[in-house]
């Protein structure tokens, strides 16, 4: 089942790759460096606001779906989720409109922030629907909706930029439009399945009690990943923020796609196995998940660090490409640690219902990161922000491993991790032995293809996580889809 779900969710993360790399490649070229930096800052602020206001509900919906279904309370669960979303969305929208109206900023910036707010509110409603589909195991429906939202938002954003003078406003307008279309398609369907019951009020309190610490933890995680951009803007300006964000976006997006794909697939399976079959069943799923993360994450992080310069030349606008390339190896390392921590070791706190402990760990890590940024950015520039991120994520990962084991033991498959590391070393040797070519596309393509082929051969030879069985599975899945 795990492998089939991985295949079903794959289109979403291919779309994330397209949008993640495409947004950097396109927006750094059609927006001025300072304008791109402004777009990045608004995007980071919107992400923090969404996490603070809405993410607690997404977490509660995902965690309680399996239990509600097992107890026959699914209609009531859906009613509570939609009622809470409606109340929070209305209140947040009113407050945001008032604050934005009174804010002493220019009309262009107000317009950009306004569209970012609209996108946040709409996409948060869509998130309730998507988390419900994902928790129910409806992988293909989730995949279709999320893929449209990502790709459609990117395409609409380009159209708005090119066909008007919206500038940094365009991407947010595009994302809001795509999210609205997807929400109108799926939201009413799920709402029609909801039904109010006597447990509505106590259920709402339970969801808040569970989701609030998760949201707090995620806020600190966001501060770890985007808080440095505000400090860079303060010390070095919006153009430097844009360069750092572009390098961060290429490196971190590459890894986050892999870990989000695995996390979106295995997270619901872990919870379902734990709720329906107990601790041992959940640990079996976790063991395979950890192996898959090493199989895919280790070569991705190493490869990114080794091809940072040609990747930056190809994907990022010329004005900021070389500056962006300097931070990409550091972000690749921090992205690997973040992915393993967030999408694997954090599951110990989710399964054990200890989100407050997780929030405490991330609070300390965020404080360390921000403190290091204030020290290192003035002396080392954007490279200092990269080092700060590596140190903070490293400390957080170690803390999550040791503290989480007291709550729920997440297995560490040493054999599979060692095999994946060995195959990655072989891949790195091959890439380093290749000559550097003048044309960025050829240089990058040669290293990706050669390194990737060498890694695949080595991984199959070592049979990391029984990966040889995937070949037959892909053929079977393709045959079933055609039929």
Q: What is the distance between the alpha carbons of residues 397 and 333, in angstroms, rounded to a whole number? A: 12
- pLDDT category at 26 given cuts 50, 70, 90 is confident
Give pLDDT tens digits for 207-230.
Answer: 888 888 778 777 877 777 788 888
- For residue 228, what are its two tokens? 């440095």
Indicate whether 127 belongs to any domain: yes
> Is the predicted pLDDT of residue 166 greater than 80, yes or no?
no
Interatomic CA distance for residues 266 and 268, integer angstroms: 6
Is 50 exceeded by the pLDDT of residue 309? Answer: yes
pLDDT at 150 over 50: yes
The pLDDT tens digits of the residues spanning 413-470 come to 999 999 999 999 999 999 999 988 888 889 999 999 999 999 999 999 998 888 777 6
> For residue 135, which of 196, 51, 78, 216 has the smallest C-alpha distance?
78
pLDDT of 476? 54
Domain, as residue range, for 80: 2-412
Give the pLDDT score at 479.
Answer: 53
pLDDT value at residue 13: 67
Answer whether residue 86 is part of any domain: yes
pLDDT the model gives residue 428: 95
Q: Are 68 and 77 in contact (CB under 8 A)?
A: yes
Query: What pLDDT was estimated at residue 11?
Result: 73
Residue 274, pLDDT > 50, answer: yes
Residue 465 lies in a domain: no
Structure tokens at 7: 């295949």
Flag whether 240 is in a domain: yes
**Would 471 be classed as within a structural domain?**
no
**Which of 245, 253, 373 has its CA nearest to residue 321?**
245
The pLDDT of 69-76, averaged and rounded, is 82
Question: What Rg, from alpha-carbon coordinates, does the chain have?
Answer: 22
**Does residue 425 lie in a domain region?**
no
Mean pLDDT of 39-67: 84
The pLDDT score that the predictor gives to residue 481 is: 45
Q: What per-residue confidence (pLDDT) applies to 273?
A: 82
By mean pLDDT, which of 33-42, 356-365, 468-477 is the weakest?
468-477
CB 172 within 8 A of CB 112: yes
The conformational region for residue 181 under phi > 0 = left, psi -120 to 50 = alpha, else beta, is: alpha
Mean pLDDT of the chain: 85
Reported confidence tier of residue 376, pLDDT bands at 50, 70, 90: very high
Report the C-alpha gap between 259 and 272 in whole angstroms: 20
Q: What is the pTM of this model?
A: 0.70
pLDDT surpasses 80 at 116: yes
- Mean pLDDT across 329-338: 92
For the stretch 81-114, pLDDT in tens is 999 999 999 999 999 999 989 888 888 788 888 9
Is residue 187 in some structural domain?
Answer: yes
pLDDT beyond 70 at 474: no
Integer Cα distance of 205 and 68 in angstroms: 15
- Across 1-15, 37-51, 83-97, 339-353, which has the greatest mean pLDDT? 83-97
Angle 284-288-294 from CA coordinates, rounded to 5°: 150
Average pLDDT over residues 297-312: 92
Query: Which has more confidence, 123 or 249?
Result: 123
Look at residue 234 in the predicted model and tell me its pLDDT.
Answer: 86
pLDDT of the residue at 471 = 63
Angle between helices 169-191 and 33-53 (to 10 degrees): 30
CA distances 27 to 110, 200, 363, 397, Å, are 20, 45, 32, 33
Q: Residue 455: what pLDDT?
A: 94
d(CA 123, CA 117): 10
Residue 83 falls within a domain, yes or no? yes
In order, the DSSP letters of 244-295 are HHHHHHHHHHHHHHHHHHHHHHHHHHHHHHHHHH-HHHHHHHHHHHHHHHHH
Total structural domains within the chain: 1
Residues 6+ apart with CB under 8 A from 404: 345, 346, 348, 349, 410
Top-confidence range, 15-19, 104-108, 367-371: 367-371
CB 216 within 8 A of CB 48: no
Among residues 114, 217, 238, 118, which one has the least CA distance to residue 166?
114
Highest average pLDDT, of 74-78, 104-108, 296-300, comes from 296-300
């Amino acid at each position: 089942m795990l492998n089939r779900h991985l295949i079903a969710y794959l289109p979403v993360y291919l779309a994330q790759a397209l949008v993640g790399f495409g947004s950097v490649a396109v927006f750094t070229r059609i927006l001025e460096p300072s304008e791109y930096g402004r777009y990045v800052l608004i995007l980071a602020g919107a992400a923090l606001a969404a996490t603070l206001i809405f993410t607690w509900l997404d977490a509660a919906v995902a965690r309680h779906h399996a239990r509600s279904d097992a107890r026959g309370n699914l209609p009531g669960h859906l009613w509570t989720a939609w009622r809470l979303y409606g109340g929070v969305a209305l209140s947040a929208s009113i407050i945001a409109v008032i604050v934005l109206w009174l804010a002493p900023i220019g009309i262009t910036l107000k317009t950009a922030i306004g569209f970012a707010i609209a996108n946040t509110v709409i996409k948060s409603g869509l998130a309730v629907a998507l988390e419900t589909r994902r928790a129910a195991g409806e992988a293909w429906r989730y995949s279709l909706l999320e893929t449209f939202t990502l790709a459609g938002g990117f395409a609409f954003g380009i159209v708005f930029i090119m066909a008007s003078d919206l500038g940094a406003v365009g991407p947010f307008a595009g994302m809001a439009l795509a999210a609205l279309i997807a929400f109108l398609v799926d939201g009413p369907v799920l709402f029609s399945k909801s039904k109010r019951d006597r447990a509505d009020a106590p259920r709402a309190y339970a969801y808040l009690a569970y989701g609030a610490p998760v949201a707090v933890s995620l806020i600190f995680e966001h501060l770890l990943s985007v808080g440095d951009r505000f400090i860079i803007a303060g010390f070095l300006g919006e153009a430097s923020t844009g360069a750092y964000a572009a390098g961060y976006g290429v490196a971190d997006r590459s890894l986050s796609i892999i870990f989000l794909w695995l996390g979106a697939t295995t997270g619901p399976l872990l919870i379902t196995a734990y709720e329906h079959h107990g601790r041992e069943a959940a640990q079996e799923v976790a063991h395979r998940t950890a192996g898959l993360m090493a199989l895919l994450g280790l070569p991705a992080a190493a490869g990114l660090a080794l091809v940072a310069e040609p990747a930056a030349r190809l994907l990022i606008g010329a004005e900021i490409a070389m500056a962006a390339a300097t931070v990409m190896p550091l972000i690749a390392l921090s992205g690997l640690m973040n992915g393993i921590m967030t999408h694997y070791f954090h599951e110990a706190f989710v399964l054990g219902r200890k989100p407050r402990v997780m929030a405490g760990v991330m609070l300390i890590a965020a404080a360390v990161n921000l403190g290091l940024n204030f020290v290192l950015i003035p002396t080392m520039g954007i490279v200092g922000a990269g080092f700060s991120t590596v140190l903070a994520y490293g400390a957080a990962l170690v803390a999550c491993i040791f503290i989480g084991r007291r709550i729920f033991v997440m297995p560490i498959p040493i054999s599979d991790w060692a095999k994946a590391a060995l195959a990655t070393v072989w891949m790195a040797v091959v890439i380093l032995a290749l000559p550097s070519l003048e044309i960025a596309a050829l240089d990058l393509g040669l290293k990706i293809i050669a390194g990737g082929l060498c890694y695949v051969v080595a991984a199959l030879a070592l049979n990391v996580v029984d990966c040889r069985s995937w070949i037959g599975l892909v053929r079977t899945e393709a045959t079933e889809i055609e039929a």
